[in-house]
A and B are shown apart, each in its own frame.
Chain A
């Protein structure tokens, strides 16, 4: 079956620091990969996605590259802000359209 393994948190950073959240997956087919973000008190929002190998998703300064050879989709941001404090979820979707989520990583950015 499909599964997502995500770097455990919590992660605490200072403003302007570099952020990486590791994500690896297991899938039987050729899934689409996603990063979702959940800000405090809110629902999930799509942050970025990639639908095939070597695709790079990017949004709000965040990037992630679909690496089929390492089955990874690591999230990166070069300079974080306090407003990036949130829970980040890696997820995949296969042909059945169902999302499989990682456990989530809580990121706190301090001024």
Chain B
């Protein structure tokens, strides 16, 4: 069966520090992968998506970047975090209109 792992579950980071969130999927090959962010009191916003290794599309300009070094690995990064980067980050994969979300990472930038 397909599973998706996302870590860490919670993270508190100081402003200006780097960020690396990792997401891996199992039980599928060549999935479409996504990073979404849910800011406090707001809906989900698509940040990045990837249709294959090394292929990243950015939906909105921001302080973040994404990489896909392996077929089933998707990484969200930042060189210097801003206060506005705080939020709930969700990784997801899709196949034929089916979406599976990870359990999310709650990031607080202080």
Query: Which residues on A are within 8 Å of B, measured CB to CB?
Result: 6, 32, 34, 36, 42-46, 49, 51, 89, 93, 97-104
Contact = CB atoms under 8 A, between A and B. Distances in A.
Main secondary structure on chain B at its contact with chain A?
strand
Contacts of B100: 46
A93 B103 contact: no
A102 B44 CA distance: 8
Given A34-B99, A36-B101, A89-B44, 5 more contacts: A43-B6, A43-B102, A43-B104, A45-B101, A46-B99
Contacts of A93: 94, 97, 99
A102 B42 CA distance: 9
The 8 closest A-B pairs by CB, nearest first: A103-B43, A101-B44, A44-B101, A43-B104, A43-B103, A101-B43, A43-B101, A104-B43
B74 interface: no
B41 to A, nearest CB: 9
B90 interface: yes
A30 to B, nearest CB: 12
Contact of B43 (A45, A89, A97): A89
B57 to A, nearest CB: 9
A6 B101 CA distance: 21
B66 to A, nearest CB: 14
A100 B6 CA distance: 21
Contacts of B103: 42-43
A49 B99 CA distance: 11
Contacts of B104: 42-44
A21 B98 CA distance: 23
B32 A97 contact: yes
Nearest to B46: A98
